Amino acid sequence: METHVEQWLDAKQKLPAPSLAGVAGTVAFEAGIDARWLLTIDNGEVELTSGPGEAQAVVKCDSKAVAERLLRGEGNPVVSALQGHLTAEGDRALALKVALGLLAGSPFSTSGTAPQEAEV
């Protein structure tokens, strides 16, 4: 069954993320072989896709649940890193900026809306 975050994958929908205003780039959230999600941020909007695409930063999580929580803006990323749930590679400043920005407000939060049906 699709998780809350997975329903946004490949919805080809840009979502407003005011807490990421001023940030631009792509961050990959990886959880072993279970998931590789790419969050592309541009001018206060984000889009979530899956696949092998390039990213400036990679956040390696020890489970899909950890990656989900980060994307939903639940749980402090610094605390997660210190507990050993995740590491960041590449542009760590971007990874941190995005993770902290999502904490301040995530379009994937469970209180948010569901994706719209894609137009055929």
Partner 1 sequence: MSDTVSILDGNAFVVSDRRGDIEATPTDTHGLFLDDTRFLSRWIFTVNGRRPNVLSSDTLHYFRSQFYLTLSSGTIYVDSDMSVVRRRAVGDGFMEEIILVNHGKQPQALELRLDVDADFADLFEVKDKLKKKGERYQRVDGNRLVLGYRRGTFVRETWITSSQPAAFRDDSVTFHVEIPPHGMWRATLEVVAVSNPERTTKPRVKYSAADVEPRPELGESLKQWVSGAPLLVSSWEPLGRTYERSLLDLAALRFQTMLTPGALPAAGLPWFMAIFGRDSLLTSFQALPFTPELAATTLRLLALFQGRVDDAFRDEEPGKILHELRLGEMTAFEERPHSPYYGSADATPLFLVLLEEYERWSGDRALAQSLEREARMAIDWIDHYGDRDGDGYVEYERRNAETGLENQCWKDSWDSIAFTDGSLAPTPRATCEIQGYVYDAKRRTARLAREVWGDPAWATRLEQEAEALKERFNRDFWIPERNFFALALDGTKRKVDALTSNIGHLLWSGIADEDKAAHCVRHLLGDELFSGWGVRTMGSSEGSYNPIGYHVGTVWPHDTSFVAWGLRRYGYRAEAARVSLGILEAAIFFNHRLPEAFAGYPRKSTQFPVEYPTACSPQAWATGAPLLLLRTLLGLESDGKYLIVDPAIPLPIQRLELLDVPGVWGHMDAFGRARPAFSGRQVAESQAADALAGV
Residue span 13-42 as binding mask against partner 1, x where in contact by CB under 8 A, dash where not:
------x-xx--------------------
Residue with Cβ nearer partner 1 (5 or 20): 20
* CA 52/CA 69 separation, integer angstroms: 21
> What value, to the nearest 5°, has the Cα angle with vertex 98 and ends 53 and 78?
115
Q: Interaction with partner 1 in 39-98: which residues (CB under 8 A)?
A: 60, 62, 76, 78-79, 81-85, 87-88, 91-93, 96-97
Residue of 9, 11, 15, 100 that binds partner 1 (CB under 8 A): 100
Taken as a whole, the chain contains a residue count of 120
Inter-residue contact 98 to 55 (CB < 8 Å): no
State which residue, 79 or 114, has the beta carbon closest to partner 1. 79
DSSP state, 77?
H
What span, in angstroms and rounded, lies between the C-alpha atoms of 30 and 66? 10
* Residue 34 Cα distances to 27, 63, 68, angstroms: 17, 8, 12
Choice between 36 and 97, CB closer to partner 1: 97
Residue 101 touching partner 1 (CB under 8 A): yes
* Binding residues vs partner 1 (CB under 8 A): 19, 21-22, 60, 62, 76, 78-79, 81-85, 87-88, 91-93, 96-97, 100-101, 103-104
